[in-house]
Amino acid sequence: MRWFWNQSCDPDKASKPILDPGDRTHAIDAASAEILRLVDLRHAEAQAVAATHAAARPKGAGPVGRILGWLNKSSGFPRTMYTGSDASLTGGGQDRPNATGISPVLSGSQQSILQWFNKAAYVPNAAGTWGNVGRNTLIGPGLTNLDFSVVKNNYIRKISESFNVQFRAELFNILNHANFNVPSLGDGNTNVLNGDGTVNGSAGLLSQTTTDPREIQFALKVIW
């Protein structure tokens, strides 16, 4: 079993020339530059389980049977909220909204694939301002994935001591757990508001997955 805690921040964005105002919390405020990076993954856990069956087998041969399981779990990646407008009059089109003081985090019973965060937490930024919501403050869904493998060796001594017909069954995402990406548009950014300041109806909708559905494959391998 492995588990780690991590925090990845950008300490230098505000010290760079103002070329991409959407890439910093406040382009002229160096104190606000300590912000999460897109690759920030706060928690991650990996577990592996293996079991073998060593019944009668030729000398020096591998186990007759083997079962393997891999479990991976992690928290979500951060993304930035955008308004989809240019109220800042910078021409960048990457304004962020203002916070209303309402938490964007919904309780477990309220959170769903139709509404991942509370849209009432955001309002349009005022004309000539950047918006005060920080960069990469929306944390997306986490990941849970369990893979499973079964291997059965069938030694046929009538042919030779080492002749083996191996059967394999491999199941990926055996729980068929849907792992969703952050609610996003095609460019990977999240527009909580439309260009006219109205709430984006699809904001908060989880429509993209990060892993495939359950996959099962079987194989026969002849070893001699």
Q: pLDDT 10s digit of each residue in the chain, 224 long? A: 788 887 777 664 543 334 444 444 444 444 444 577 777 788 889 999 888 876 655 565 556 788 999 999 999 888 888 888 888 888 877 888 999 999 998 887 888 888 889 988 999 999 988 888 888 888 889 999 999 999 998 888 888 878 899 999 999 999 999 999 888 654 555 688 877 778 888 888 888 899 999 999 999 999 88
pLDDT at 25: 44
Classify residue 2: in a domain, yes or no. Answer: no
Classify residue 15: in a domain, yes or no. Answer: no
Number of domains comprising the chain: 1
Residue 77 has a CB neighbour count (10 Å cut-off) of 22
Q: Which residues of 40-54 are buried (b: 16+ CB within 10 A; e: fewer)?
A: bbbebeeeeeeeeee
Classify residue 127: in a domain, yes or no. Answer: yes
- pLDDT tens digit string along 164-180? 999 999 999 999 999 99
Classify residue 58: in a domain, yes or no. Answer: yes
- pLDDT tens digit string along 124-141? 999 988 888 888 888 889
Classify residue 68: in a domain, yes or no. Answer: yes
Classify residue 28: in a domain, yes or no. Answer: no
pLDDT at 174: 95
Q: 149, 148, 159: which is closest to 223 by C-alpha?
A: 159
Classify residue 3: in a domain, yes or no. Answer: no
Domain boundaries, position 171 = 46-223
Contacts of 80 (CB under 8 A, 6+ apart): 22, 96, 135, 136, 137, 138, 189, 190
Q: 49, 55, 53, 76: which is closest to 66 by C-alpha?
A: 53
**Contact (Cβ atoms closer than 8 angstroms) between residue 150 and residue 63:** no
- pLDDT tens digit string along 42-55? 888 999 988 887 66
